[in-house]
Amino acid sequence: MKVFVSVDMEGVSGLTDPEEMRAPGRGYERGCELMTADANAAVRAAFDAGAAEVVVADSHGRGRNLRADLIDERCALVRGTHQPMHMGEGLDASFDVALYVGYHARAGVPLGVLNHTWMGREIHDVRLNGAAAGEIRLMAAYAGTLGVPVGLVTGDAAACAEARETLGAVPAVAVKEGRDRYAAVLVPPPRAQRMIYEEALRSLRDPSGWRRLDVDPPYTLEVEWSSTAIARSCAVIPGVTATGPRSTAFTSGDYTEIVGLLGVLALIAGDVGCTGRHYG
């Protein structure tokens, strides 16, 4: 069995503050350790379930958060900036299943801890073939185009609800429950990591709970931006059309173009938006 583990940070156990999500914020280094510990819980479960190979992708921000010196030495770690497939970097059709650890709810979801979609301030909404799409749907759809199902989602309660709304009865572990965007009732990390390990192990031993998201091509990505300036700048890219004062759309028969383009649009939006902060 070959297992892909994509690890974001906002849904990691113990974390609630934007400062914990980026350097040199207060608590960031500890946040990286907690992120690595949640990842290791899933990796350990994968090997205990009989996996021959586990690839872990650092899927937060610039991809330099997981502690390479603390990650389970049996896995392969995908790390670094400007990865073409971003949160899905390293995934291909040879994998049996994908696990999404530390994921969060899409932008605007009530009580979603650190909720956003792809960017903290610049993106108000994303839709994939007309359906509201957070990072869970976007990445599950990418896996689906490769024939790979999702076997686990961990994060806050809102992220787990979004995963089940998107994928059906997929195994999920809620490590915290939001009280506001920056506040939550937490499962203490040691217990949360045991929960991740136990559910990942159960899921990987029983593939009946795995769920694949199949989205029919062509794929249309619609983005509502925070400003007219971002939308106008993004619409300069060939193939990207303005669909409103603050919105753009792009259609392709190749889902890798959807993921890759979203990363390029985010670079433009970050530059045009000139925001020095994240998550609003």
Distance CA 104, CA 116 (A): 8
The verdict on whether residue 135 carries a ligand-binding annotation is yes
User: Could you please report the per-residue DSSP string of 123-159?
Assistant: EEEEEETTEE--HHHHHHHHHHHTT--EEEEEEEHHH
Q: ω into residue 84 within 30 of 0, thus cis?
A: no
- Indicate if 116 belongs to the active site: yes
The verdict on whether residue 104 carries a ligand-binding annotation is yes
Calculate the dihedral angle through the C-alpha atoms of 90, 93, 96, 99, rounding to the nearest 10 degrees. Answer: 40
- For residue 174, list its beta bridge partners: 155
Q: Which of 86, 116, 124, 278 is catalytic?
A: 116
The verdict on whether residue 222 carries a ligand-binding annotation is no
Work out the number of other CB atoms within 10 angstroms of the CB of residue 241.
14
The verdict on whether residue 60 carries a ligand-binding annotation is yes
| Cα dist from 186 to 100, 180, 182, 200, 276, whole Å | 19, 13, 12, 20, 28
The verdict on whether residue 278 carries a ligand-binding annotation is no
Q: Output DSSP code: residue 55.
A: E
- For residue 242, list its beta bridge partners: 248
Surface-to-core class of residue 144, CB atoms within 10 Å of its CB (0-12 exposed, 13-18 middle, 19+ buried): buried
Work out the number of other CB atoms within 10 angstroms of the CB of residue 168.
11
Work out the number of other CB atoms within 10 angstroms of the CB of residue 55.
21
Annotated binding-site positions: 8, 10, 60, 104, 135
Binding-site residue set for Zn(2+): 8, 10, 60, 104, 135
Provide the annotated active-site residues.
Answer: 116
